[in-house]
Amino acid sequence: MSRSGSHSHRVRWWCLIVAVVAVWVQQVEGVWPLPQQLHQSADRDCLSPQRFSFTYGRDSAAQTGCSVLDAAFKRYFSIIFPDFTTLSENVLQYMWSEPQPFVVSVSVKTRGCDGYPDEDSDESYTLSVSEGQAVLRSVSVWGALRGLESLSQLVYQDDYGTYFINKTEIVDFPRFAFRGLLLDTSRHYLPLYAILKTLDAMAYSKLNVFHWHIVDDPSFPYQSRTFPDLSNKGAFHPFTHIYTQSDVIRVIEHARMRGIRVVPEFDSPGHTQSWGKGQPGLLTPCYKGSVPSGSFGPVDPTVDTTYKFMASLLKEVKFVFPDSYVHLGGDEVSFACWQSNPNVRKFMEKMGFGKDFTKLESFYMESIMNMTAALNKTSIVWQDVFDYHERIPQDTVLEIWKGAKYQTELSRMTQAGHRVLLSAPWYINHISYGQDWRNSYAVQPQNFSGTDEQKKLVIGGEVAMWGEYVDATNLSPRLWPRACAAAERLWSNEEKTLNADLAFPRLKEFRCELLRRGIQAEPLFVGHCRHEYDGLHMLLHAVKVSRTL
Amino acid sequence: MAHTGTHSQPVRSCLLLVVVSVCVQQVHGVWPLPQQLHQSADRGCLSPQRFSFTYGRDSAAQTGCSVLDAAFKRYFSIIFPDFTKGSGLLQYVWSEPQPFVVSVSVKTGGCDGYPDEDSDESYNLSVSEGQAVLRSVTVWGALRGLESFSQLVYQDDYGSYFINKTEIVDFPRFAFRGLLLDTSRHYLPLHAILKTLDAMAYSKFNVFHWHIVDDPSFPYQSRTFPDLSNKGAFHPFTHIYTQSDVMRVIEHARMRGIRVVPEFDSPGHTQSWGKGQPGLLTPCYKGGVPSGSFGPVDPTIDTTYKFMESLLKEVKFVFPDSYVHLGGDEVSFACWQSNPNVRKFMEKMGFGKDFTKLESFYMESIMNMTAALNRTSIVWQDVFDYHERPRSKYVVEVWKQGCYLCEMRRVTKAGLKVILAAPFYLDLPIPTHSWARYYIVRHLAFRVQRTEEQKKLVIGGEVAMWGEYVDATNLTPRLWPRACAAAERLWSNEEKTLNADLAFPRLEEFRCELLRRGIQAEPLFVGHCKHEYDGL
């Protein structure tokens, strides 16, 4: 910028005036989700993109060259100054103000810039914004990402386009370590950009786990190295409706850069119709009378080849997905087909299961949970597995999805010593008229009868966006800002965030901020945003994505 | 194209394809279903290089007809999206393109006019080897025929274009097939409106009901009263429709055979009007003093009527359609009741305590203004309900849930035309799979005392997308493809289209076609389209 040097005298007087005005304007921007401790003053500083910079603190373990933070600095600069990056320098501003430098100094205690976030990652941070500077301190780079997000939400513009930030002190950390969002790419294929865009918006809401329900009955879009026929024959289309290995790597890296874990789900033994197309012999042949009917049921748990196949597949999954968790599904297994099959019945008899097919399902699930354990991975399974057979490996994480009486389920599971994820009240693929975010907001994940020890076993929750009626055309407006309600419940102090009416203006403002960042977030109620969704962001974003990767 | 000249042995591949097609039998549907449609398994292949639209010799419209010239260009791109994007070289290796000519003949000119309530939208389309003949009375009918034609063309897995031999005789069941957008509760950027008009044309909707102002904001920039949007819009520069925006909407609609009917809803739903027009709204009282808040338009003073007259004069000038929607719904009487001047006026007029008489008095006055301007008024059913013996002719729009057929019966019995919107409130975000609830609506199912005359008074229906929870972020997926269900109900023969299960595969295919045309239409159920929405 050739201009930066030419103004040297008219120091600060304009900014001072602004500070005086600010006393009665008192525009203070919220942060969503609400930080654990937040103190804001009416004193504000003006920021100029030309004199704004991120830097690593001297005592920081991470320094220039830290992939995660270097990229985050660039990203957040564009997010904080969208006008600057799109239109470049604002000439008018120069007539009035002498830009003052503003430096954001970031210090992390431990490095780990090239690692992946995991269940033990420390996401806490402190942020102190004062005149001309902000100091952000965290233990890990993931905490620094959360702090940068908060910082970006503190900056605002007045009607003349000038940027401001108020003096602020934040001490912040998540209430729950697992704050997930599920996308279903089997019922409808979601193009890569829709997934990447969702990861962006997740980071804005401090959600930190992408639960990738990647395959299911309708289609198998995951292109396996070991079993290419699974997608060749099981995807909606073998070339256009698949996730290649490089697609998956891109998703994982995009997520990593935002401090988001990617937990894949390979749901079995039910929900596997599409697997059968590329892996003959895997599914149970259903019988009508004494002959095969030609249709197939769940995975056949009675034959060795099934377990060999699952062992190979899970080995690949371990290799491809770095996260220490893997979701094994185990929900909604229909027993009718197993029951019809004479081999299965024979096996039941041999195993002494009697007529209890839940024992057969448990037998199968236990086998693959053991495989997973042998691969040093933690299994997540849907609640059905626990409901069928309460004694399952202790370190298995259980996910509650059934709507009714989830509090009772929380009690039972934690009493049995299991870690639990709550998803039941956050099935936001269900829609209704009006402000249904308030229902998500009212959820109290630890409000069940149990000891303090039990409550600690609730490791978090998950927003689920099942795909029966959702694809790239309506994903974003259905997710956002509705998912933000759960995001705040999972991050913030419940005591301070139980009143939805108080949250409403902050959420409204956050939704406008999402729009400005190009997220197609639907409105909460009548009104407007200064920067409405113009439908062009997506294009710009796509260009940016292709540039950065 | 360097390739075009190099192949000279004709026809080979096309013949091969015809043979194959006998066993493939891929026949493409048209949405909404034409009145008569006969398709054969014989198909011809189309090549963008040898495809053209032309005016028939006997056509009253010829080159230079603005509406059809533009439609030819538009539909060429719609039919051959690949060609306009990247062309298709592979195709040349296999086939010698055959010419295909679509000849369009209209009986009457009128290329520079606007569609109106009497426009004849019927057309005949005959597709045979190497040609299609499209005949209609008006250019608007020709537009409907071109739309049907575009839906008949399909591509195989190798990208070749085909069309089956087809005969269509088609006309709409109802003349008024509307779609309401609400640009007051949320501002809709111009592009969102234009895109909606595009999709409306694909479904053969023909009326854009522009609920342009309401309580929350007044985005219409009036020539006569610029303060209405200066002070009543969400933002006086960024959240308004300028005169040129409005003209652009009207022209975009005209090119697609769509009428634009504006609604200036009063006396209720006018909070935003008050900001730029002091003295217009009724001051509410608390105890014996004004409370500082305002109610509906004040119907007791002359200045109100002078203002409304000027505004309606402007509306007539700006919006060419012969209809104007005057609203008249959901007037709360509490504020009127609190105001001593209004009470005095009620007494003077002998209305007693019946505020519905006051509302009727007001509505009658502005309907008379509209009539004097040679415009037909549409009003919401409330106006009729308050005063069932109408003194003038107006069109009633039925919006209240409950027994809407009872209301239709009453209105038609009183000799008034009626539009049905009640079962088509699409802003209620039900899952897409319940699209069928819009499909099974039966407008004419009110049986008691129904006469042929009464049936004719049912001029159509309207899909309503109210804006409480809808803006440009979610408008399109909430509208499409659910609105298509209503579109078929309003266009097609009811007898042939009552079974939603039979309609489903056609609607699924049409939804994929909408995606391909860039309309962000949400999915009906699990599955995929060959061309998914790519967001670009």
State chain A's mean pLDDT as an integer.
91
The verdict on a CB contact (< 8 Å) between B186 and A523 is yes
Beta strands B36-46; B161-170: pairing state: antiparallel
CB contact (8 A) between residue B472 and residue A534: yes
Question: In percent, how much of chain B has pLDDT > 70?
Answer: 90
**Residue B98: predicted pLDDT:** 85
**Contact residues on chain B for A431, CB-CB shorter than 8 A:** 429-431
CA A414 to chain centre: 24
Which residues of chain A have a Cβ shorter than 8 Å from any chain B Cβ? 187-189, 191, 193-194, 218-219, 236-237, 240-241, 431-434, 467-474, 476-478, 515, 520-528, 530, 532-535, 538-539, 542
pLDDT tier, A29 (very low <50, low <70, confident <90, very high otherwise): low
What's the CA angle centered on A295, arms A294 and A300, to 5 degrees?
110
pLDDT value of position B179: 98
Q: List the structure tokens of B172.
A: 């709409």
Beta carbons of A431 and B429 less than 8 Å apart: yes
Asked whether the beta carbons of A514 and A238 are under 8 A apart, the reply is no
Q: Which residues contact A229 (CB under 8 A, 6 or more apart)?
A: A277, A278, A279
3-state secondary structure A300-327: CCCCHHHHHHHHHHHHHHHHHCCCCEEE
pLDDT in tens, B263-310: 999 999 999 999 999 999 999 999 889 999 999 999 999 999 999 999
CA–CA dist A413, A241 (Å, integer): 38
Residue pair B178/B106 in contact by the 8 Å Cβ criterion:
no
Between CA A515 and CA A306 the distance in angstroms is: 47
Mean pLDDT of A123-152: 98
- Mean pLDDT over residues A154-168, rounded? 93
Nearest-CA distance from A159 to chain B in Å?
12
- Chain B environment of A235 (Cβ under 8 Å): none
- pLDDT tens per residue across span A301-331: 999 999 999 999 999 999 999 999 999 999 9
pLDDT tens digits, B84-123: 544 445 444 455 678 999 999 999 989 999 999 999 999 9
Q: Which residue does chain B place closest to A435, by CA atoms?
A: B469
Interacting residues of A511 by C-beta distance below 8 A, sequence separation 6+: A480, A481, A484, A521, A523, A524, A529
CB pairs under 8 A between A and B: 129
Which residues in chain A have Cβ-Cβ distances shorter than 8 Å to B532? 189, 191, 240-241, 471-472
Residue B20, pLDDT above cutoff 70: no
The end-to-end CA distance of chain A, in Å, is 27
Q: Under a CB-based contact definition with an 8 Å cutoff, are residues A163 and A446 in contact?
A: no
Instruction: Report the alpha-carbon angle A284-A286-A289, nearest 5.
Output: 145
* Token pair belonging to B484: 């298509």
The nearest CA of chain A is from the CA of B199 a distance in Å of 15
* pLDDT one-digit tens code per residue, B28-66: 689 999 999 999 999 999 999 999 999 999 999 999 999
Quick one: pLDDT at residue B438? 86
Name the residue of chain A whose CA is nearest to B527's CA.
A188
> pLDDT band at B447, cuts 50/70/90?
low
The Cβ of residue B451 has, within 10 Å, a number of other Cβ atoms equal to: 10
> What is the rounded average pLDDT of the residues A525-539?
78
- B426 backbone dihedrals φ, ψ, rounded to 5°: -80, -5
Token pair, residue A21, equals: 């005005």
* b/e sequence A128-160, b meaning 16+ C-beta within 10 Å: bbeeeebbbbbbbbbbbbbbbbbbbbbbbbeee
- Across chain B, what does the average pLDDT equal? 91
| Min Cα–Cα distance to chain B from A523, Å | 6
- B-chain CB neighbours of A231 within 8 Å are none
What pLDDT does residue A415 have? Answer: 96
Residues A414 and B452: their CA atoms lie apart, in Å, by 70
- Is the separation of the CB atoms in B396 and B419 below 8 Å? yes
Contact across the interface for A431 and B428, Cβ inside 8 Å: no
Q: How many helices (H) and strands (E) does chain B have?
A: 20, 17
User: For position B111, what pLDDT does the model report?
Assistant: 96
Inter-chain residue contact A535 with B469, CB threshold 8 Å: no
**B21 pLDDT tier (thresholds 50, 70, 90):** very low
Bridge partners of A137? A107, A126
Cα-Cα end-to-end distance for chain B: 27
> Residue A218: is the preceding peptide bond cis (ω within 30°)?
no
Asked if A241 lies within 8 A of B521 by C-beta distance, the reply is no
Q: How far, in whole angstroms, is CA B444 from its chain's centroid?
A: 21
Active site residues of B: 330
Q: What is the pLDDT of residue A5?
A: 32
**B395-398 and B281-286: which strand pairing?**
unpaired
Q: Which residues contact A348 (CB under 8 A, 6 or more apart)?
A: A354, A355, A357, A359, A360
pTM: 0.92
- Closest Cα of chain A to B402: distance in Å? 18
**Would you state the pLDDT for residue A179?**
98
Residue with tokens 């699924």: B508
Quickly state the pLDDT bin for A18 (edges 50, 70, 90).
very low
| CA pseudo-torsion sign A189, A191, A192, A195 | negative
Give the model's pLDDT for residue A533: 86
Q: Quick one: tokens of B187?
A: 């501002």
Q: What residues of B are in contact with residue A532 (Cβ under 8 Å)? A: 187, 189, 238-239, 471-472
Q: How far is CA B180 from the centre of its chain?
A: 7
CA dist B107 and B118 (Å) reads 15
Look at residues B163, B122, B167, B134 and name the one whose alpha carbon lies nearest to residue B56.
B134
Res A20: pLDDT: 41
Residue B455 has pLDDT above 90, yes or no: no
pLDDT at B470 over 50: yes
Tokens of B223: 């020539």
Provide the pLDDT for residue B428: 79
Alpha carbon distance B361, A358 (integer Å): 72
Using an 8 Å Cβ cutoff, are A342 and A302 in contact? no
pLDDT at B192 exceeding the cut of 60 = yes
Return the H-helix or E-strand segment holding A374. helix A357-374
With a cut of 90, say whether residue A255 has pLDDT above it: yes
Provide the 10 A C-beta neighbour count for residue B336: 24
| Residue of chain B whose alpha carbon sits nearest to that of A467 | B526
Shortest distance, CA B515 to any CA of chain A (angstroms): 9
Span B304-340, pLDDT tens digits: 999 999 999 999 999 999 999 999 999 999 999 999 9
Check whether B184 has a pLDDT greater than 70.
yes
Q: Which of B471, B511, B516, B524 to mutate to test the interface with A (most CBs of A within 10 A)?
A: B471
- Residue with the bigger pLDDT between B8 and A526: it is A526
b/e burial code for range B200-209 (CB count within 10 A of at least 16 → b)? bbbbbbbbbb
Residue A85 confidence class, pLDDT cut points 50, 70, 90 = low
Distance CA A18, CA A160 (A): 12
B43 residue type, one letter: R
Strands B458-465 and B176-182: parallel
Q: Which of A474, A482, A524 to mutate to test the interface with B (most CBs of B within 10 A)?
A: A474
Residue B28's pLDDT is what? 66
Inter-chain contact A219–B528, Cβ cutoff 8 Å?
Answer: yes
Test A471 with B523 for CB contact under 8 angstroms.
yes
pLDDT at residue A404 greater than cutoff 90: no
If we measure between CA atoms, which residue out of A410, A476, A427 comes closest to residue A213? A427
Say if strands A37-47 and A102-108 run parallel, antiparallel, or are unpaired. Answer: unpaired
C-beta separation of A190 from A219 below 8 A: no
Catalytic center residues of A: 332
The better pLDDT of the pair A3, A413 is held by A413
Which of B229, B522, B530 has the most A C-beta neighbours within 10 Å, making it the best mutation to test the interface with A?
Answer: B522
Closest to B45 (Cα-Cα) out of B172, B182, B160, B203: B160
Which uninterrupted H or E stretch holds B101? strand B100-106
Query: For residues A194 and A201, what is the distance between their CA atoms, to the nearest angstrom?
Result: 11
Q: What is the pLDDT at residue A534?
A: 73
**Chain A: residue nearest B240 by CA?**
A528
Distance from A414 to chain B by nearest Cα, in Å?
35
Report chain A residues whose CB lies below 8 A from the CB of B512.
none
User: Per-residue pLDDT for A410 more than 90?
Assistant: yes
Tokens, residue A342: 């004479």
Condensed to tens digits (0 to 9), the pLDDT of residues A40-58 reads 999 999 999 999 999 999 9
Q: How far is A435 from chain B (nearest CA, A)?
A: 9
Would you report the helix, strand and coil content of chain B in percent, each value rounded to 5? 40, 20, 40
Pick the residue from chain B with its C-alpha nearest to A477: B474
Question: If pLDDT is split at 50, 70 and 90, which confidence band does B17 have?
Answer: very low
Kindly indicate the confidence band of residue A129, based on its pLDDT and cuts at 50, 70 and 90: very high
Candidates B185, B511, B532: best to mutate against A (most CBs of A within 10 A) is B532
The residue-averaged pLDDT of B73-88 equals 79
Mean local confidence (pLDDT), B476-493: 96
The residue assigned the tokens 């959420």 is A507
Q: What is the pLDDT of residue A117?
A: 98
Is B176 in a helix, a strand, or coil?
strand
CB A203 within 8 A of CB A224: no
Report pLDDT for A112: 92
Per residue in A203-245, pLDDT (tens digit) is 999 999 999 999 999 999 999 999 999 999 999 999 999 999 9
Q: What is the pLDDT of residues A455-490, one digit of tens each?
A: 999 999 999 999 999 999 999 999 999 999 999 999
Phi first, then psi, for residue B244 (nearest 5°) are -75, -30
The backbone torsions φ and ψ at residue A380, rounded to the nearest 5 degrees and listed phi first, read: -110, 140
Verify whether the Cβ–Cβ distance A527 to B234 is below 8 Å.
Answer: yes
Cβ of B532 and A218 within 8 Å? no
Please list every residue in chain A whose beta carbon sits closer than 8 Å to the beta carbon of residue B535.
191, 193-194, 472, 538-539, 542
